Amino acid sequence: MEFSELIRTGQAQAELLRGPEMPPLRGTLCVTGHHLLLSPGPQATPDLWLLLLRSVDSIEKRVAGDAGTITLRCKDLRVLQLDIEGVEATLDIARSIEALSSLESVITSFPFFYRPKGLRLGESWHFHPPERYYKRVARETRAWRLSEANEDFSLCPSYPRAVIVPRTVDDDALARSARFRQGGRFPVLSYYHAPSGTVLLRSSQPLTGPQKRRCAEDEELLQAVLAGARPGARGFIVDTRSAQAAKQARMTGGGTEAKSAYPGWKRLHRPLERGRPLQESFVHLVEACGDLEQSMDRWLSRLDGCHWLSHVKAALSTACLAAQGMEWEGACILVHGAEGTDSTLLVTSLAQLILDPLSRTMAGFQELIEREWIQHEAPIFLLFLDCVWQLGRQFPLSLEFGEGMLLALFDHSYASPFGTFLCNSEKERCLCEVRTRTHSLWSGLNQPKEQRKLRNPLYAPNPLAIWPSVEPQSLRLWQGLFLRWTHPPEPSEVAWEKVWQIATDQEKTEGSQPTDSASEPQP
């Protein structure tokens, strides 16, 4: 398929309105295979404006007289208005944008064409391979081993080729356990907590069904986890659904672990929202934040009505519970919901940030995202970023990355020139040859010129767990994200610049002592 078939008109004269604080930008509007660009003409060349078409969420067109208006709502929450000369041109451009922005095919997406100067293809895809982390755990604990049972993705298409499992469980048992779990996501290690010797596991729900089926190998696997931690160790299964929802899941073939079948394990239900309700919550919040007519009288109840902050609170509380179970109770924790691909990952990745100082470094955080997250273009990933932002607000010195990093991840999760967030599973990524044909996001973000935006100059390694407050008074609306296009960003940008200035002044006076922060996690 050729992009040119979808582009009905190449060019038009247009004016981009950029909100009340900025003057409109006039120029020639062009639609290309992946971009919408506005070139102000030869006299003012540097002021080129560019939008990746994939980030267009919805498009509205209006024509009146001999001109038209296109309103683009973008996935990064921007709303853009383009006034275009000519009715035909307006309609053609709108149709072209509609067609190009809704292309499904992965391999025609921009990352497969993006070839920036200074970056070599294939570079830095090996910055954070999960295998390295798993090997380290296997080496340290002796209770765990790396298995290649999923080499051909036959056990679980959404797991990587190498997974880490209890040493005493063989690959056949894994295969049986995989068949007993939805989507084949059998319990695997997510994080090893060295101070307590306990582990964090994740999986999907067991397929007990209405007959309350059992699977001996699955039970063995969880038994082996406890035995590997220490004799007599206990475990908690944090089910991210309500007890009732978990029970109901039996009707559709799912379910949850029966108490009698998994001695030593205790189940806790912490319902977390996901999927459609979470998406709606997000949409409502974005609407509320963009509603400039909203009066102060009803703003807080409207904010409450969106439920987004309640979801933040619930996610952080559950992650804290899991982390507390490991650090204070010395227990192993298994987290799952139904598919084990959304709220499960939210809990496991937040729990690691709370417990693990390494995951709070720039490199460790990138590795965490590589290892834990599958679907990035989903509100659950944004909820994760929001929770991390809340952690950063309560512990402003303990994360090596700043708000800019979280915003960048948000932007790239929806539309990116890099390939890191493409596809929804390891299997798909292999099929599309993402690693050899696109650039890694980390290679882009780890360039020196990006550091001032992404890194937190206040960072000082904090070897302890960071326990956030989850009371409503301590949680805030993430203005930097939700109000980023309606609020002038200058005051906070100036503040960030000032923070950097103070921090770098100190480094200068201290001599050319390099910061050790950009280094990778210690092996």
Of residues 50-69, which lie at the interface with other proteins (CB under 8 A)? none
Q: Specify the pairing of strand 144-147 against strand 332-336.
A: unpaired
- Cβ closest to other proteins, residue 288 vs residue 423: 288
**Interaction between residue 393 and other proteins (CB under 8 A):** yes
- Cβ closest to other proteins, residue 108 vs residue 324: 324
In 3D, which of 516, 485, 508, 365 has the Cα closest to residue 78? Answer: 485
- We find the least distance from the C-beta atom of residue 479 to other proteins, in angstroms, to be 7
- Cβ closest to other proteins, residue 318 vs residue 420: 318
Tokens encoding 167: 């040493």
In 3D, which of 459, 310, 450 has the Cα closest to residue 396? Answer: 459
Specify the stretch interacting with other proteins by CB under 8 A; choose among 82-90, 108-116, 334-342, 477-485: 477-485
**Interaction between residue 102 and other proteins (CB under 8 A):** no
Residue 141 CA to residue 461 CA, distance in Å, equals 25
- The 230-249 contact track toward other proteins, x by CB under 8 A, reads ------x-------------
- We find the least distance from the C-beta atom of residue 359 to other proteins, in angstroms, to be 11
By CB under 8 A, the residues from 329 to 348 that bind other proteins are 329
Map tokens 């990064």 to a residue. Answer: 76
**Interaction between residue 20 and other proteins (CB under 8 A):** yes
Specify the stretch interacting with other proteins by CB under 8 A; choose among 43-51, 149-157, 257-265, 484-492: 484-492
456-475 in b/e form (b: 16+ CB < 10 A) is: bbebeeeeebbebebeeeeb
**Interaction between residue 476 and other proteins (CB under 8 A):** yes
Q: How far is CA 406 from the centre of its chain?
A: 9
Question: What are residue 272's phi and psi, to 5 degrees?
Answer: -120, 140
- Cβ closest to other proteins, residue 110 vs residue 308: 308
In 3D, which of 204, 166, 161 has the Cα closest to residue 186? Answer: 204
Tokens encoding 67: 């001109």
In 3D, which of 509, 49, 68, 75 has the Cα closest to residue 279? Answer: 75
By CB under 8 A, the residues from 260 to 279 that bind other proteins are 268
Number of residues located near other proteins, criterion CB under 8 A: 78
Specify the stretch interacting with other proteins by CB under 8 A; choose among 66-74, 165-173, 211-219, 356-364: 356-364
Angle at 315 between CA 341 and CA 183, to 5 degrees: 15
Residue 332 CA to residue 328 CA, distance in Å, equals 11
Cβ count within 10 A of residue 381 = 23
Q: Specify the pairing of strand 163-166 against strand 198-202.
A: unpaired
- Cβ closest to other proteins, residue 432 vs residue 465: 465
By CB under 8 A, the residues from 289 to 328 that bind other proteins are 289, 292-301, 303-304, 307, 309-310, 313, 317-318, 320-321, 323-325, 327-328
**Interaction between residue 462 and other proteins (CB under 8 A):** yes
**Interaction between residue 458 and other proteins (CB under 8 A):** yes
**Interaction between residue 81 and other proteins (CB under 8 A):** no
**Interaction between residue 375 and other proteins (CB under 8 A):** no
Tokens encoding 103: 């292309």
- Cβ closest to other proteins, residue 5 vs residue 297: 297
425, 440 in Cβ contact below 8 A?
no
155, 186 in Cβ contact below 8 A?
yes
**Interaction between residue 512 and other proteins (CB under 8 A):** no
- We find the least distance from the C-beta atom of residue 508 to other proteins, in angstroms, to be 8
- The 163-202 contact track toward other proteins, x by CB under 8 A, reads -------------------------------xx-------
**Interaction between residue 506 and other proteins (CB under 8 A):** yes
**Interaction between residue 32 and other proteins (CB under 8 A):** no
State the alpha helices, DSSP H only, in 432-482: 434-437, 441-445, 451-454, 479-482
**Interaction between residue 517 and other proteins (CB under 8 A):** no
Beta bridge partners of 79: 73
